[in-house]
Chains A and B, each alone.
Chain A
């Protein structure tokens, strides 16, 4: 089953995303900020990355840019999990190489449906 990397500084959001994905039998790896996420990405490959935007140490936009520099992650879907519905933030995400975004509030059904749009 697909391996998914979850990057979010909020324990509860991370737990919820991970729980939702596991219940749909995906494998998950969690990281609590961009830096940790990047390190996890350097160690192993993922089929999908779901990342928050606002995080300490390294934000989601920078993480996205950094991931696209890694050979393994050139085509990997990256979804931004964010409450920011402003077009500005979406554009920033896109130009950093994000595949798409998930607008919070986090909704498990919506998350799973959206994932179906980026991985098999």
Chain B
């Protein structure tokens, strides 16, 4: 029988993630004398080490052991808690994370940080001697297994103290364990006191045991390991049996006449041996067992990819069950109505349908809530990040976090992490000024970065603000002109200038630092946010600081959409990407090369995309003049979509086209409308790409025909 524990791996991984987060936040706030925190940190490390060992993650176990040793010294006061050690421990947390990640995919982690941090830990620990003691002990355990291989006869005298049984130890099990090692003959001597002195809860027996087995003294002592301080144990080696018996050893076991039940000595190397009913104590073969288990554990790790699980509060599940219950009641009410329906019951039918609508809505909200997690999951990495950054930059920065309990869809959460990290890095690196400069400007030397999250309509808003120097409007504008992003001499509003920060390749930092400002960044941040159906907004005041505001949809499964009609088809345009809708005026329409139409929208020339043409539809109106234009924006590009009619705005549930059909250019998904018909959801960046490549083709054709005409 072998017990497969691989099913517990995901739960261990989840737990170690939590443990590491706890260690990190605990270390950041650790103050000398805070016993509860250091204990909690120690426990987290301890659990990770234990779990890792079970799954054969030896790199993790070995590394965490060092961490644990250091923590242990801090815990019982042998070591003072100093900043340098905390830094090492924080680095160690990162290393453990890396190691676990590597083990998850069954690899050995080669990252140089591991070796470096291991050295640091060893150096730190070398200052005290406890670690040496530990390694000595390990060495001695290993040496016990290098025993001889010949049968030896042992004389064992076991004189337990009277109170032995009071710790739950029963001599019969010890004797059985000895019997498992080899051939035994046991003699028991009783030293019972006079009856009136007899305590029934005490033990008055002693044993003489003769053991013939292929074991060394350590293996015998190991059986008595638990009781070694509660008994007198004399072990003497009588002789090596092989020297006495000319015959091979198996004959000896065939001719047994021992007074106790005999069990064939089982081969201790077989992994099954340790769970057979009267087996050898597994403790005597730790090395063998471990080796047998390691490959198995590794293999299962590889076989199980991260399925992605979610931890849901019981209250959420309960409310779901409650709502389903109500739905069932409504359903049975309606079906009863339907059984013998007549017009007198119309009112009740209406009421029932109303109730159904209510139930469905609540159920929908409730189901969505299951996927929602508090944003603290994304925020909790920032204290550490800011701590590290402030060390690196030498700036004093305080991080204030608000609205941690604001909930957000799990998928959105996973994808917003990196953009937020980038924004926070920027805030520390570019936003907050150096200490002296702050004091010169009459501000406290310590800068503050505030993270905030709150709900607004169907969106979640995440704010990253700093009380630093603010964005230098002129510097941004000059840089943009220098880079050719804008024409010299144009007048731009503040927010338009700040939007330039998100142009590809834009960086105003004079020196490219190690932290941020490598030139790839803000444009990627914006793209990532847009990919999630969100947008970003900047507000800044010179000398007062900046605020970056990220708007995200609460969920990716439901979208606020504008229904539009093109020909006889209804399409959905995501509301978040719509800038405005207008009726085209003749004087603002310009036709350029080919038949690309530009519409003058204040300072911008917006290309007009005839949706009917892109999707090959018969349209009511093929003329740009007087038609309805929905101006949408994606990737910084505005276009006007030509539609026949604007219909309702409503929330639509996104169904994947790819899963049900195949990917279609310009379409991001489909939805089912109230009347049961299917409407396509327009993929704004996709349709812009489509239109641009169409325009390019047309232009090429145009030039080709021009040159051909001239020839």
Q: What are 24 A-to-B residue pairs whose CB atoms are below 8 Å?
A: A10-B15, A10-B51, A11-B11, A16-B54, A19-B5, A24-B275, A74-B166, A75-B201, A83-B49, A85-B134, A94-B167, A94-B230, A97-B166, A99-B169, A100-B169, A100-B225, A104-B50, A104-B54, A110-B274, A110-B286, A117-B173, A117-B176, A118-B170, A118-B173
Q: Does B165 lie within 8 Å of A75, measured CB to CB?
A: yes
0/1 interface trace, chain B 504-542, chain A, CB 8 Å (1 if under): 000000000000000000000000000000000000000
Residues of chain B within 8 A of A40, CB atoms compared: none
Q: Which of B113-169 contact A (CB under 8 A)?
A: 133-134, 137-138, 165-169
Residue B3 contacts which of A83, A108, A116 (CB distance < 8 angstroms)?
A108
Q: Does A97 lie within 8 Å of B167, measured CB to CB?
A: yes
Q: Does B274 lie within 8 Å of A19, measured CB to CB?
A: no
Q: Which of B99-107, B276-284, B645-653 contacts A (4 or more CB under 8 A)?
A: B276-284
Q: Which of B39-47, B87-95, B188-196 contacts A (4 or more CB under 8 A)?
A: B39-47
Distance of B75 from chain A, by nearest CB (Å): 10
Q: Does B226 lie within 8 Å of A101, measured CB to CB?
A: yes
Taken together as a complex, chains A and B put the C-alpha atoms of A109 and B2 apart, in Å, by 8
Residues of chain B within 8 A of A91, CB atoms compared: 229
Given that A11-B15, A13-B51, A99-B226 are contacting pairs, would A110 and B169 also be in contact in the complex, using a CB cutoff of 8 Å? no
Residue A114 contacts which of B15, B165, B201, B282 (CB distance < 8 angstroms)?
B282
Distance of B269 from chain A, by nearest CB (Å): 13
Residues of chain B within 8 A of A118, CB atoms compared: 168-170, 173
Q: Which of A104-120 contact B (CB under 8 A)?
A: 104-110, 112-114, 116-118
Whether, in the assembled complex, A44 has its beta carbon less than 8 Å from a beta carbon of chain B, the answer is no
Q: Point out which of B47, B134, B174, B229 has the most chain A C-beta atoms below 10 A from its C-beta.
A: B47
Residues of chain B within 8 A of A4, CB atoms compared: none
Given that A56-B40, A86-B137 are contacting pairs, would A109 and B3 also be in contact in the complex, using a CB cutoff of 8 Å? yes
Q: Does A109 lie within 8 Å of B165, measured CB to CB?
A: no
Whether, in the assembled complex, B416 has its beta carbon less than 8 Å from a beta carbon of chain A, the answer is no
Taken together as a complex, chains A and B put the C-alpha atoms of A88 and B174 apart, in Å, by 23
Residues of chain B within 8 A of A97, CB atoms compared: 166-168
Additional A-B contact list (13), CB under 8 Å, known A20-B3, A56-B40: A11-B11, A12-B51, A74-B201, A76-B168, A97-B168, A100-B226, A104-B53, A105-B52, A106-B51, A107-B290, A110-B286, A116-B277, A117-B174
Taken together as a complex, chains A and B put the C-alpha atoms of A39 and B350 apart, in Å, by 54
Q: Does B173 lie within 8 Å of A13, measured CB to CB?
A: no
Q: Does A86 lie within 8 Å of B229, measured CB to CB?
A: no
Given that A10-B15, A86-B134, A107-B289 are contacting pairs, would A77 and B169 also be in contact in the complex, using a CB cutoff of 8 Å? yes
> Nearest 4 CB-CB pairs, A to B?
A105-B53, A99-B168, A77-B168, A100-B226
Taken together as a complex, chains A and B put the C-alpha atoms of A23 and B7 apart, in Å, by 14
Residues of chain B within 8 A of A105, CB atoms compared: 50, 52-54, 61, 290
Distance of A18 from chain B, by nearest CB (Å): 10
Q: Does B53 lie within 8 Å of A83, measured CB to CB?
A: yes
Residues of chain A within 8 A of B8, CB atoms compared: 12, 15-16, 19
Q: Does A109 lie within 8 Å of B275, measured CB to CB?
A: yes
Given that A19-B8, A114-B281 are contacting pairs, would A106 and B53 also be in contact in the complex, using a CB cutoff of 8 Å? yes
Residue B281 contacts which of A12, A16, A108, A117 (CB distance < 8 angstroms)?
A117
Q: Nearest residue in A to B173 (C-beta to C-beta)?
A: A117
Taken together as a complex, chains A and B put the C-alpha atoms of A25 and B201 apart, in Å, by 30
Range of interface residues on A (Cβ < 8 Å): 35 or more
Q: Nearest residue in A to B280 (C-beta to C-beta)?
A: A113
A: residues with CB less than 8 A from B are 9-13, 15-16, 19-20, 23-24, 54-56, 74-78, 83, 85-87, 91, 94, 97-101, 103-110, 112-114, 116-118
Q: Nearest residue in A to B49 (C-beta to C-beta)?
A: A83
Residues of chain A within 8 A of B704, CB atoms compared: none
Residues of chain B within 8 A of A99, CB atoms compared: 167-169, 226
Q: Point out which of A23, A101, A117, A118 has the most chain B C-beta atoms below 10 A from its C-beta.
A: A117
Distance of B279 from chain A, by nearest CB (Å): 6
0/1 interface trace, chain B 29-67, chain A, CB 8 Å (1 if under): 000000000011011001101111110000001000000
Q: Point out which of B2, B3, B5, B290 has the most chain A C-beta atoms below 10 A from its C-beta.
A: B3
Taken together as a complex, chains A and B put the C-alpha atoms of A88 and B612 apart, in Å, by 81
Residues of chain A within 8 A of B636, CB atoms compared: none
Taken together as a complex, chains A and B put the C-alpha atoms of A76 and B169 apart, in Å, by 9
Given that A13-B51, A15-B11 are contacting pairs, would A83 and B46 also be in contact in the complex, using a CB cutoff of 8 Å? yes
Whether, in the assembled complex, B204 has its beta carbon less than 8 Å from a beta carbon of chain A, the answer is no
Residues of chain B within 8 A of A15, CB atoms compared: 8, 11
Taken together as a complex, chains A and B put the C-alpha atoms of A75 and B164 apart, in Å, by 10
0/1 interface trace, chain B 225-244, chain A, CB 8 Å (1 if under): 11001100000000000000
Q: Point out which of B42, B43, B280 has the most chain A C-beta atoms below 10 A from its C-beta.
A: B43
Whether, in the assembled complex, B293 has its beta carbon less than 8 Å from a beta carbon of chain A, the answer is yes
Distance of A97 from chain B, by nearest CB (Å): 6
Residues of chain A within 8 A of B169, CB atoms compared: 77, 99-100, 118
Residue B47 contacts which of A10, A76, A86, A101 (CB distance < 8 angstroms)?
A10
Q: Point out which of B12, B133, B226, B289 has the most chain A C-beta atoms below 10 A from its C-beta.
A: B226
Residues of chain B within 8 A of A103, CB atoms compared: 283, 286
Residues of chain B within 8 A of A74, CB atoms compared: 166, 201
Q: Nearest residue in A to B165 (C-beta to C-beta)?
A: A75
Q: Does A94 lie within 8 Å of B229, measured CB to CB?
A: yes
Q: Does B137 lie within 8 Å of A85, measured CB to CB?
A: yes
0/1 interface trace, chain B 1-21, chain A, CB 8 Å (1 if under): 111010110011001000000
Q: Which of B160-211 contact A (CB under 8 A)?
A: 165-170, 173-174, 176-177, 201
Residues of chain B within 8 A of A16, CB atoms compared: 5, 8, 54
Q: Does B168 lie within 8 Å of A109, measured CB to CB?
A: no
Taken together as a complex, chains A and B put the C-alpha atoms of A20 and B2 apart, in Å, by 10
Distance of A115 from chain B, by nearest CB (Å): 10
Q: Nearest residue in A to B16 (C-beta to C-beta)?
A: A12
Residues of chain B within 8 A of A104, CB atoms compared: 49-50, 53-54
Distance of A34 from chain B, by nearest CB (Å): 12
Q: Nearest residue in A to B69 (C-beta to C-beta)?
A: A86
Distance of B5 from chain A, by nearest CB (Å): 5
0/1 interface trace, chain B 628-666, chain A, CB 8 Å (1 if under): 000000000000000000000000000000000000000
Q: Does A110 lie within 8 Å of B289, measured CB to CB?
A: yes
Q: Does B43 lie within 8 Å of A108, measured CB to CB?
A: no
Taken together as a complex, chains A and B put the C-alpha atoms of A77 and B177 apart, in Å, by 16
Residues of chain A within 8 A of B137, CB atoms compared: 85-87
Distance of A30 from chain B, by nearest CB (Å): 14
Q: Does A9 lie within 8 Å of B166, measured CB to CB?
A: no
Q: Does B274 lie within 8 Å of A113, measured CB to CB?
A: yes
Residues of chain A within 8 A of B53, CB atoms compared: 83, 104-106
Taken together as a complex, chains A and B put the C-alpha atoms of A54 and B165 apart, in Å, by 26
Residue B50 contacts which of A13, A101, A112 (CB distance < 8 angstroms)?
A13
Whether, in the assembled complex, B271 has its beta carbon less than 8 Å from a beta carbon of chain A, the answer is yes
Taken together as a complex, chains A and B put the C-alpha atoms of A94 and B137 apart, in Å, by 19
Taken together as a complex, chains A and B put the C-alpha atoms of A95 and B40 apart, in Å, by 25
Residue B54 contacts which of A55, A78, A106 (CB distance < 8 angstroms)?
A106
Residues of chain A within 8 A of B201, CB atoms compared: 74-75
Q: Does A113 lie within 8 Å of B281, measured CB to CB?
A: yes
Taken together as a complex, chains A and B put the C-alpha atoms of A61 and B556 apart, in Å, by 50
Q: Point out which of A97, A98, A107 has the most chain B C-beta atoms below 10 A from its C-beta.
A: A107
Residues of chain A within 8 A of B52, CB atoms compared: 105
Taken together as a complex, chains A and B put the C-alpha atoms of A101 and B42 apart, in Å, by 20
Q: Nearest residue in B to A49 (C-beta to C-beta)?
A: B168
Q: Does A12 lie within 8 Å of B11, measured CB to CB?
A: yes
Residues of chain B within 8 A of A9, CB atoms compared: 43, 47
Q: Which of B233-289 contact A (CB under 8 A)?
A: 271, 274-275, 277-283, 286, 289
